[in-house]
Amino acid sequence: MTLLHVRNLSVGFPTPDGVVHAVNDISFSINAGETLAIVGESGSGKTVTNLALMGLLNNNTAQISGTATFQSHDGEIDLLGIEGSKLQKYRGRDISMIFQDPMSSLHPYYSIGDQIIEAHQVHNQVEPEVSRQRAIELLGLVGIPDPASRVDSYPHQFSGGMRQRVMIAMALVNNPSLLIADEPTTALDVTVQAQILNLLKDLQSEFKMAIILITHDLGVVAGAADNVNVMYAGRIVESANVFDLYAKPSMPYTQGLLDSIPRLDQPHTNRLSAIPGQPPSMISLPPGCSFAPRCSRKDEVAGGRCSLELPELTLRSASHSARCFISEGVAVK
Amino acid sequence: MLSYISRRLGVTLLILLGVSFTVYVIFAFLPFDPAALTCGKNCNDPGIIEANRHRLGYDLPFFTQYWNFIKGLFVGSSYGMGAALINCPAPSLGYSFREHACVSSIIGEALPVTLSLALGALVLWLVVGIGLGVLAARYKGKIVDSASTVFVLIGTSLPTFLTGLMLLVFVVIKWRWLPFPAGNYTPFLEDPYEWAQILFLPWVTLAFAYAALYTRFVRSAVIETSNEDYIRTARAKGLPEGTILGKHTLRSALAPIVTMAGLDFAGLLGGAILTESVFNLPGLGRLAIGSVIEYDLPIIVATTLLAAAIVVLMNLVVDIAYAFIDPRVRIA
């Protein structure tokens, strides 16, 4: 069952220098219970995409277009078309979000219990004591030791990893069908990263929820995702089942990302390769492929077409599409 | 929490002792002879001067004088002997020969005036400053925001004495909306209506400048806090905008206001000199100015000490209040 279907989502931020096209006409969908990873470097539009879906972008500063059909607990809604005040009752109930920096995502003045109880109370007409029991239950589920007493602790009494667990508990308190995890492990130690990812995986099967995992780390993606969208300069440049993506990356940018990760099966004396150059300005995108200025293989396509014409996102196989002339088979050489 | 309060209390007592000593040293070594000042500016009779010096204890060694001063605070003090014996009950701050009264009773009369003035102004400027600041932040760039900017500009640039005089000229003399405040301060317990009527313009005058400062501060604090990650979290939970602003944003944004308000209030309690002078209110500020002009040393010492003590004590109150607001202070 398709849980969320995003069509032609674009987000622009008008500035004095021109409109910053943070997200350009992207479409994707996610099924109930599966994990979709969105991968890309900083500024590629991953976070903006999801903030737009959550209705967390300021309408005064962002121009949003497109549709996002979502199966909520009371029927189908368009996350992008719905009024802000109506979207509010789905936020935190049907869709939850956890953020990159757990150190600053919790209110320092309220106990974690209060914050989780608040999240439960706002969507459920129950006695506060019921919400409190629910909070304790969730804290136990996410691996907080002695949850019944820790529920009254304050955020500053927890480590970063523990705070992210608290954020996860808060996000799951209303059994959401979709969890958006925006770089949930970026601010954490590597050992803690693995714990949090495993926790998310365990909870996913328990709560039967879909996860959109935003990350820049393809290592994280390999272990956690079912499908992957690779984003570059506000566009999806490759979209595939996770196995296909690693086996047959069909876009030089994806290849570049994979090459920049150290691998155990490569001699450790090899230098890691980096992608040269910078992402383009989002105010004036190049007319052709956004990645062309940095692409080492653009000369394989005749007539400098990569720099002149934007390739479409086309199918490579049933579960694999890419935005590249080379893998499209038009390469001449 | 209790250990935090008792720790802060101990430090405060030490600071107060230090302050009292410093103030006493400064005044003891001023180039005035306090005894000579007791019998008028043109008093030339060395006999009277020496007698007064002895009666007031100014002939004792410095540390004995300081000790007597501190002792007087707790057990009261007496001056002279026989029929001319003057008793000042505790807390005694000395005896003013110019006013022929114990300093503490003079201050006891002036303090309620200043307290009424400062308290009313505090309430007024907090309501206006926080209200307008929150509105300006909420409707950033809109007409409310621009209007608040104008208000801030006027409020911060108009000096208190000008605001006060203009209010007097227009509200009282020209438009006759309020009766002329004839300097007859009425205590609240005697006649609350009269009390408020006399203090209304002084409140507005004082509050105007502070309200402008607070508006600017609250506006930027609210805008800054609105960009915090935990506010985004609150929104992601699906909380209504009112709850986000009222519970999450304001709690953080207004915490520094407690510090600011506490210290500004303490500053005013030391005497709102200009406002009291313009409106002819017999408060601490006017008392302090009068005593300086008249070289009334015991009153100068007492008002200075009182102002300092109020600031120190208010700091303590603010620190304790902060511990209630911010758990990171409490459980540290």
Using CA coordinates, name the residue in chain A closest to B326.
A109
Using DSSP's 3-state secondary structure scheme, residue B1 falls into coil
Residue B271: the pLDDT is: 72
Angle subtended at Cα A51 by Cα A47 and Cα A53, rounded to the nearest 5 degrees:
120
Question: Is the minimum CB–CB distance between A167 and chain B shorter than 8 Å?
Answer: yes
Task: Give the span between the Cα atoms of B236 and B228, in whole angstroms.
Answer: 13
Residue B82: the pLDDT is: 62
Which of A155-169, B28-42, B153-167 is the least confident region?
B28-42
Q: How many CB atoms lie within 10 A of CB A58?
A: 9
Specify the higher pLDDT residue, A118 or A60.
A118
Beta carbons of B331 and A157 less than 8 Å apart: yes
- The mean per-residue pLDDT over the stretch A154-161 comes to 92
Task: Give the span between the Cα atoms of A175 and B309, in whole angstroms.
Answer: 56
Tell how many helices (H) and how many strands (E) occur in chain A.
13, 12
Question: Is the minimum CB–CB distance between B242 and chain A shorter than 8 Å?
Answer: no
Question: Is the minimum CB–CB distance between B327 and chain A shorter than 8 Å?
Answer: yes
Which residue is it, tokens 């021109």?
A18
To probe the interface with A, which of B138, B233, B254 has the most A CB atoms within 10 Å? B233
Residue B70: the pLDDT is: 86
Residue B183: the pLDDT is: 59
Strand pairing report for A210-215 and A18-31: unpaired
Confidence category of residue A332, pLDDT binned at 50, 70, 90: very low
Confidence category of residue A118, pLDDT binned at 50, 70, 90: very high
What are the structure tokens assigned to A153, written together?
């602790």
ipTM for this model: 0.87
> Cβ contacts of residue B247 below 8 Å, gap of 6+?
B239
Residue B181: the pLDDT is: 65
Stated pTM of the model: 0.83
Beta carbons of B237 and A91 less than 8 Å apart: yes
Instruction: Enumerate residues 178 to 207 of chain A having a beta carbon within 8 A of any beta carbon in chain B.
Output: none
CA A261 to chain centre: 20
Nearest by CB to B229, which of A88, A99, A156?
Answer: A99
Which of A21-35, A298-312, B127-141 is the least confident region?
A298-312
Question: Is the minimum CB–CB distance between B238 and chain A shorter than 8 Å?
Answer: yes
Beta carbons of A92 and B238 less than 8 Å apart: yes
Q: Kindly list the distances between the CA atom of residue A76 and the CA atoms of A10, A36, A85, A178, in Å, as whole numbers in the listed order.
A: 21, 20, 17, 14
To probe the interface with B, which of A82, A86, A107, A114 has the most B CB atoms within 10 Å? A107
- The mean per-residue pLDDT over the stretch A203-208 comes to 89
Chains A and B form CB pairs within 8 A to the count of 72
Strand pairing report for B101-102 and A178-182: unpaired
Distance from CA of B135 to the nearest CA of A (A): 17
Question: Is the minimum CB–CB distance between A113 and chain B shorter than 8 Å?
Answer: no
pLDDT per position as a tens digit, B128-137: 999 999 999 9
Task: Give the span between the Cα atoms of A28 and A218, in whole angstroms.
Answer: 19
Task: Give the span between the Cα atoms of B214 and B204, in whole angstroms.
Answer: 15
Compute the half-sphere exposure of residue B133: CA atoms within 13 Å on the CB side of its CA. Answer: 27
